[in-house]
Amino acid sequence: MTRKSPNNRIERRKFLAGAAAGTVAAAVPLRFAHGQGQKLKVGVLLPRSGPQAQIGIDCQRGADCAPEVLKAKGYPEFEFVLGDTETKPEIARAQAEKMIGQGIHILVGCFDSGQTMAAAQVCEQKGIPFSVSIAAVPALTEQGYKTVFRNFPTGPMIAADSFNLQKALFQSTGKAPQTVVMLHVNDTFGMSQKDANVAGAPKFGMPYKFVDTIAYDPTARDLSAEVRKAKATNADMLWVISRLNDAILICQEMVKQRWEPMGILSSGPGWYDVPFMKALGKYGDDVVSTVPWHDPKKATSKALEAVFKKKFPDRELNTNHTYTFEGVMVAVDAFKRAGSTEPGKLIEALKKTDIKDNVVTGPGVKFNAKGQNADIKMSAIQNRGGKNLVIFPAEAAQAKPNWPMRPWGKRG
Amino acid sequence: MSDLTASGRAALIAFAALLLVLPWVVSSYVLSVAVICLYLAYVGQAWNLMLGFAGLLSIGHALFVGLGAYASGYLFAKYDVPPAIGIVAAVAIAMLMGAVIGYLGFRFAIGGVYFALLTIAFAEFVRILLEHAKFLGGTQGLFLPVSQESRRGVDLINLRGWPEMYYYVILALCLGAFVLCRALLESRVGYYWRAIRDNPEAAAAVGVDIFRFRMYAVVLSAGMTGAAGVFRAFYDNLLFPDQVLNIEKSIEITLAPIVGGVGTLFGPIFGAFVLTPLSELLTDVVEGLKDLGIIAKNVKTDGAKLLFWGLAVVLIVLFKPTGLWPWVCRRLGLVKAPGARS
């Protein structure tokens, strides 16, 4: 069985565009060569349709800011080739093949672990470097891949950092909860997070014990019973693992039922999202979320935020934007240092990555032998007046924490 | 072959020849799309055996894919049992589950849409069960070990090798399913199935053991689909319960036969090879039109493919409810007489 060279590809998009326009001339096979003097082609593979479409489209906003931000920082110009996983691993695989056929030099993506794993297999087979922007499954960098470089915390890193941030919060305020009740969505994400956190708390010597964990359907229209049940535990702290709509429902119910625990801690999306803060107003304040976030004090973060605000004035910079941006930044940085689009040279450059002036929290971007950036840190952010302010780690903090949270009746 | 016209035979030979040489003439992207087509054709054929032949609607067929995938994947990942042996366990477990569903459904006279709901219920039940099965990775997924070396060559015992190998494996499965289904349809069992499908009361009245032959259909279909799960596991090398067993996957299995023609032998293959490449082509044409400036670059066209799938199914259900294949056969004169058996 013979193998086809990755350099010998027909550019199908141009071929089909020509066919659609009735021009046969466009159907000319093109050869792609990797080398010096070429513009870097960055493939951005995300779930742009299907159940994760909104997240994929959100991630793309971060990538859209990259050309302007990186150009201002002196990075070379590059172009994007976009791919859609349709929220399916098998399509992620096919799309990765397609994008490599379209001549991409490096792939960035994919948000979802399953889709990222599928694309990683193709990159490994083709020898194309893969800058993983968002995907937490540990196995990705445990498979011995030579072309995969992940600038996102793994699941265990996220869990460990979440506990460390909580400890910092409790120590700095002198207010530690003794009991915790957890409300969590009953989908894959919610169940895995719940299991990891409940099992991890004693290992990390947390001062509290879980008095109950209450699962619910993320599509539920009414969560009053679940909130009532959680309230009845009389726990000091509510820990939530939610999506957006259910986060709004839970918070509304807490206000209605006048349940005022010491604080609300979230370790998932929803509670820090702009629509949540808009829907809840002052009642959405003081919620603490532990998330992979950006360090707002870094120069590149400020530059990214400025460009982002210009392009998307109604939105706030979030994890999807910053990590996707940084995935592109890692790719372009490798290209700058390699001075070539040749995959082997890009991979060698990626191995030597050492970006200090990056965006996300932590000392910078540096990959270990497995291709994992092990230095990434999570952040604790708190909602304040429609903004997400970093409260921990101290070096990235924008504000001191409001903890315990203010009673519902004493807010503005 | 006997019911094909000369042009039908020529078309079949040309299609078979194209499938045989495909890996040598197309890019790896087209090859991966072809693998998806063949996979959908295969599982569509297995699903068609239940609805098309025996009149039993299943909307939970991803259950059998999942069971086959997890059984073989787990045996390989934990005990180094090669898929060549693991497939026996995978097919057996899928058949056993098929037997349980069939027994419950037919023993308690759960028919029509209620039987379909039963299949969904089992698929959801097993998905949730797998999400809580820590030894199978739970929600964190089950990853099959794969090394750089194992991505080269041809190792059919361990189902490891070039992407081209996977293509020929799924092609062989498709061919096997086609031959098996044709043989079954020509056999006494096939006639009984169609009798049960068309009028179960009449079939029972003439002495057909409805329970027994329906059980055959469910168990056989489940076993065939379980084998597809083995392929899926070793092609993807990762399994997440919500990505393998969700209802969307079950619906996906039904689309190719519905589009191609439920109850026909070639319908699932035709449906898979029409829907998937056409939707891929649509994406390329839209992007090409953007490149040419005919569509503005900033127009969001994400999801156009899914929209196309939805529209195609609606149009076919409305205007060609028996599927495209019987219509194409008639229009192109591929069969000697109109019928559902080509």
Same domain membership, residue A228 and residue A135: no
- C-alpha span between B253 and A236 (Å, rounded): 48
Q: Would the CB atoms of B141 and A121 count as touching at under 8 Å?
A: no
pLDDT (average), residues A269-285: 92
The reply to whether residue A90 touches residue B36, judged by beta carbons under 8 angstroms, is yes
Burial of B280 (0-12, 13-18, 19+ CB in 10 A): buried
Average predicted confidence (pLDDT) for chain A: 89
* pTM beyond 0.90: no
Whole-angstrom CA distances from B245 to A50, A408, B266 are 16, 43, 26
Residues of B in Cβ contact (< 8 Å) with A53: 302-303
Percent of chain B clearing pLDDT 70 (strictly above)? 96
Using a 10 angstrom Cβ sphere, with 0-12 exposed, 13-18 middle and 19 or more buried, the burial of residue A186 is: middle
Give me the CATH number covering residue A175.
Answer: 3.40.50.2300
Residue A9 has pLDDT above 70, yes or no: no
Considering only CB atoms, A16 lies closest to which of B29, B140, B284, namely B284
According to DSSP, residue B61 is labeled T
Q: Do B291 and A17 touch (CB under 8 A)?
A: yes
- The answer to whether residue B339 scores a pLDDT higher than 70 is no
pLDDT of residue A294: 96
* CB atoms B29 and A100 under 8 Å: yes
Give the whole-angstrom CA distance, residue A402 versus residue A411: 12
Chain B CB within 8 Å of residue A98 CB: yes
Tell me the nearest-neighbour CA distance from A111 into chain B, angstroms.
15
Residue B288: list chain A partners with CB under 8 A. Answer: 13-14, 16-21
In DSSP terms, which residues pair with A355 in a beta bridge?
A: A365
Question: What's the CA gap between A301 and A295, in Å, rounded?
Answer: 7
Average pLDDT over residues B140-164: 84
Res. B39 pLDDT band, cuts 50 70 90:
very high
CA atoms within 13 Å, Cβ hemisphere of A64: 17
* Band (A29; pLDDT cuts 50, 70, 90): very low
A93 within a domain of the structure (yes/no): yes
**DSSP helix/strand/coil, B238:** strand
The answer as to whether B339 is a domain residue is no
pLDDT at A37: 67
User: In which domain, by residue range, is A219 found?
Assistant: 156-291+379-410
Answer yes or no: do A176 and A254 share one domain. Answer: yes
Number of other residues whose CB lies within 10 A of the CB of residue A175:
15
Instruction: Please state the rounded mean pLDDT for residues A197-201.
Output: 91
- Same domain (yes/no): A328, A230: no
Q: Does A356 touch chain B (CB under 8 A)?
A: no
Q: Residue A112: inside a domain, yes or no?
A: yes
- Chain A residue numbers with beta carbons less than 8 Å from the beta carbon of B36 are 90-91, 94
Count of CB pairs separated by less than 8 Å, A with B? 133
A65 within some domain: yes
Of the two residues B288 and A166, the one the predictor is more confident about is A166
Please determine, for residue A6, whether its predicted confidence score (pLDDT) is greater than 50: no
Distance from CA of A392 to the nearest CA of B (A): 28
Q: What is the pLDDT of residues B213-269, one digit of tens each?
A: 999 999 999 999 999 999 999 999 989 998 899 898 999 999 999 999 999 999 999
Q: What is the pLDDT of residue B265?
A: 93
Q: For residue B125, give the H/E element and its range.
A: helix B112-132
**Lowest mean per-residue pLDDT among A29-43, A133-147, A220-234, B293-307:** A29-43
User: How many independent structural domains does chain B possess?
Assistant: 1
pLDDT over 70 at A7, yes or no:
no
Distance of residue B32 Cα from the nearest chain A Cα, in angstroms? 5
Question: For chain A, what percent of residues have pLDDT higher than 70?
Answer: 91
Return d(Cα B64, Cα B70) in angstroms, integer. 10
Q: Which of B24, B238, B305 is closest, CB to CB, to A49?
A: B305
Give yes or no for A79 touching B (CB within 8 A).
no
Q: Does A182 touch chain B (CB under 8 A)?
A: no
Q: Which amino acid is at A239?
A: W
Residue A267 lies in a domain: yes
* Total number of domains constituting chain A: 2
Three-state SS string across chain A, please? Answer: CCCCCCCECCCHHHHHHHHHCCCHHHCCCCECCCCCCCCEEEEEEECCCCCCHHHHHHHHHHHHHHHHHHHHCCCCCEEEEEEECCCCHHHHHHHHHHHHHCCCCEEEECCCHHHHHHHHHHHHHHCCCEEECCCCCHHHHCCCCCCEEECCCCHHHHHHHHHHHHHHHHHHHCCCCCEEEEEEECCHHHHHHHHHHHHHHHHCCCCCEEEEEEEECCCCCCCHHHHHHHHHCCCCEEEEECCHHHHHHHHHHHHHCCCCCCEEEECCCCCCCHHHHHHHHHHHCCCEEEECCECCCCHHHHHHHHHHHHHCCCCCCCHHHHHHHHHHHHHHHHHHHHCCCCHHHHHHHHHCCCECCCCECCCCECCCCCCECCCCCCEEEEEECCEEEEEECHHHCCCCCCCCCCCHHHCC
Say what the pLDDT of residue A347 is: 97
pLDDT band at residue B146 using 50, 70 and 90 as cut-offs: confident
Within a domain: B92: yes
CA distance B93 to chain A (A): 24
- Inter-chain CB proximity A16 and B285 less than 8 Å: yes
Test B148 with A124 for CB contact under 8 angstroms. yes
Is A17 inside any structural domain?
Answer: no
What pLDDT, on the 0 to 100 scale, is given for residue A13? 46
Chain A nearest-CA distance from B223, in A, is 22
Average pLDDT along chain B: 90
Q: Which residues contact B25 (CB under 8 A, 6 or more apart)?
A: none
pLDDT digits (tens, 9 = 90+) for A360-374: 999 999 999 999 999
In this predicted structure, the answer to whether residue B95 has a pLDDT above a threshold of 70 is yes
A-chain residues within 8 Å CB-CB of B163? 125
Nearest CB to B27; choose among A2, A9, A114 = A9
Given B143, B291, B300, which is nearest A14 (Cβ)?
A: B291
Which long-range contacts (C-beta less than 8 Å, at least 24 apart) are formed by B92-96?
A: B92/B223, B93/B67, B93/B68, B93/B226, B94/B64, B94/B67, B94/B68, B94/B222, B94/B223, B94/B225, B94/B226, B94/B227, B94/B229, B95/B219, B95/B220, B95/B222, B95/B223, B95/B226
Q: Please answer whether residues A269 and A276 qualify as being in contact, where contact means their C-beta atoms are separated by less than 8 angstroms.
A: no
Contacts of A91 in chain B (CB under 8 A): 36
Is the domain of A238 the same as that of A142?
Answer: no
pLDDT tens digits, residue range A117-158? 999 999 998 999 999 999 988 888 988 899 999 999 998 899
Weakest mean pLDDT among A32-36, A124-128, A207-211, A309-313: A32-36
- Contact A18/B at CB under 8 A: yes
- Per CB-CB distance under 8 Å, the chain B contacts of A9 are 27
Decide if B306 and A20 are in contact by the 8 Å CB cutoff.
Answer: no
Using pLDDT thresholds of 50, 70 and 90, give the confidence band for residue A11.
very low
pLDDT tens-place string over residues B169-205: 999 999 999 999 999 999 999 999 999 999 999 999 9
Is the residue at B23 inside a domain?
Answer: no
Question: At residue A22, does pLDDT exceed 50?
Answer: no
Residues of chain B neighbouring A20 (CB-CB closer than 8 A): 285, 288-289
Based on the domain organization, do A60 and A161 belong to the same domain?
no
Interface contact flag, B164 A88, Cβ < 8 Å = no
A110 Cβ contact list (under 8 Å, min separation 6): A45, A46, A47, A85, A92, A116, A119, A132, A133, A134, A135
Tokens of A372: 């994992």
The shortest C-alpha distance from B119 to chain A (Å) reads: 20
pLDDT at A319 over 60: yes
ipTM over 0.90: no
Whether the CB-CB separation of B86 and B71 falls below 8 Å is answered with yes
pLDDT at A3: 39
- Check whether residue A147 and residue A161 sit in a common domain: no
pLDDT at A27: 34
Provide the pairing of β-strand B142-143 with A237-241: unpaired
Q: How far is A80 from chain B (nearest CA, A)?
A: 13
For residue A111, pLDDT over 50 is answered with yes
Residues of B in contact with A136 (CB under 8 A): none
Contact A192 B294 (CB under 8 A): no
**CB contact (8 A) between residue B306 and residue A12:** no
Nearest to B306 among A17, A86, A98 (CB): A86
DSSP three-state, residue B322: coil
Long-range contacts of A128-132, Cβ-Cβ distance < 8 Å, separation of 24 or more: A128/A6, A128/A100, A128/A104, A128/A343, A129/A105, A129/A331, A129/A334, A129/A343, A129/A346, A129/A347, A129/A350, A130/A106, A131/A106, A131/A107, A131/A327, A131/A328, A131/A330, A131/A331, A131/A334, A131/A350, A132/A108, A132/A327
Residue of A nearest to B25 (CA): A4
* Statement to judge: residues A182 and A278 lie in one domain: yes
More confident of the two residues B331 and A37? B331
**A146–chain B Cβ distance below 8 A for any pair:** yes
SS3 B4: strand
- Calculate how close chain B gets to A110, using CA atoms only, in Å: 15
Q: How far does A197 lie from chain B, in Å, by closest CA?
A: 14
- Residue A181 to residues A198, A202, A209, A230, A405, Cα–Cα distance (Å): 10, 15, 9, 6, 16
Question: Cα(A130)–Cα(A365) distance, rounded to whole angstroms?
Answer: 15
Look at A97 and B28 and tell me if their CB atoms are within 8 Å.
yes
B contacts of A93 (beta carbons < 8 Å):
32, 236
Task: Let me know if residue B338 belongs to a domain.
Answer: no
Look up the domain containing B105 and give its range. 6-17+28-332
Rounded to 5 degrees, what are φ and ψ at A352? -95, 15
* B92 has pLDDT over 50: yes
Position A138 scores a pLDDT of: 86
Same domain, A73 and A169: no
Higher pLDDT among residues B323 and A21, named by residue: B323
In DSSP terms, A291 is beta-bridged to A379
Using a CB-CB distance cutoff of 8 angstroms, which residues of chain B are in contact with residue A84?
A: 283, 302-303, 305
Residues of B in contact with A113 (CB under 8 A): 141, 240
The reply to whether B1 falls in a domain is no
Q: Same domain, yes or no, for A394 and A253?
A: yes
pLDDT at B149 over 80: no
Rounded-to-integer distance, Cα A47 and Cα B239, Å: 18
Q: Please report whether residue A7 resides in a domain.
A: no
**A-chain residue closest to B232, CA distance:** A90
Which of A12, A32, A312 would best serve as a mutation to test chain B binding (most B beta carbons within 10 A)? Answer: A12
Q: What is the mean pLDDT of residues B280-296?
A: 81
Give the pLDDT band of residue B333 (cuts 50, 70, 90). confident
- Residue A368, domain member (yes or no): no
